Amino acid sequence: MSRFARVVGAVAVSATVILGATTPLAEAITDMSVNLTMQTHPVTPNQAFGTYTAFLPTDSGWGYLYNGGSIRVDCYGDDLFSDDFLFSRTHTISSFQPLTADEKGIYLTGRVGGDLGTIWDEDTDTADHRDEVYCRMTWRDGGGGTIQRKTPVRYGYF
């Protein structure tokens, strides 16, 4: 093989590797299901825990995660005029409660807990201290595409 043929071959392989690494994924994620469950601790009843979950169906889950996919979770207290901000977390492939994937899609399970009347306590009304909480989750892929969903509102004394 001539030197010219080797150089052309090396350039072609390099271009394929570079273009392959930057090509967007073939399918766009268009759906996300989310949920929030609340419970008191079975052993320590003065503690409340919220578990939020998300699922994004795709057969390219790990590709999305390795290319910067993340889910931001913002949780609020549901009120008539203005919803109280409770907390926010962003989950990635390398965060404390990481995003995971398999051949069916991308998964998130996050858990936040603490003493009753702290993290999830949003209602200080003197007549009724019942809390109404929900989370808004935003998926952001490495290319800037987003999907946003809101969990059902959960009611209780948190």
Reported as a single tens digit per residue, the pLDDT across 12-71 is 434 333 334 444 444 678 999 999 999 987 787 788 999 999 999 999 999 999 999 999
β-sheet bridge partners, residue 6:
none
Question: How many whole angstroms separate alpha carbon 11 and alpha carbon 48?
Answer: 59
pLDDT at 103 over 60: yes
**Average pLDDT over the chain, rounded to an integer:** 83
Burial class from Cβ neighbours inside 10 Å (0-12, 13-18, 19+) for residue 67 reads middle
Tell me, what's the pLDDT at 116?
85
Contact between residue 116 and residue 47 where contact means Cβ atoms under 8 Å apart? yes
| pTM for this prediction | 0.78
Give the pLDDT mean for 94-100. 93
Q: Does domain 27-156 have CATH number 2.60.40.150?
A: yes
**Annotated domain spans of the chain:** 27-156
| Structural element, H or E, at residue 48 | strand 47-57
Residue 5 to residue 73: CA distance in whole angstroms: 53
More reliable by pLDDT, 13 or 82: 82
Per-residue pLDDT, averaged over 122-131, amounts to 71
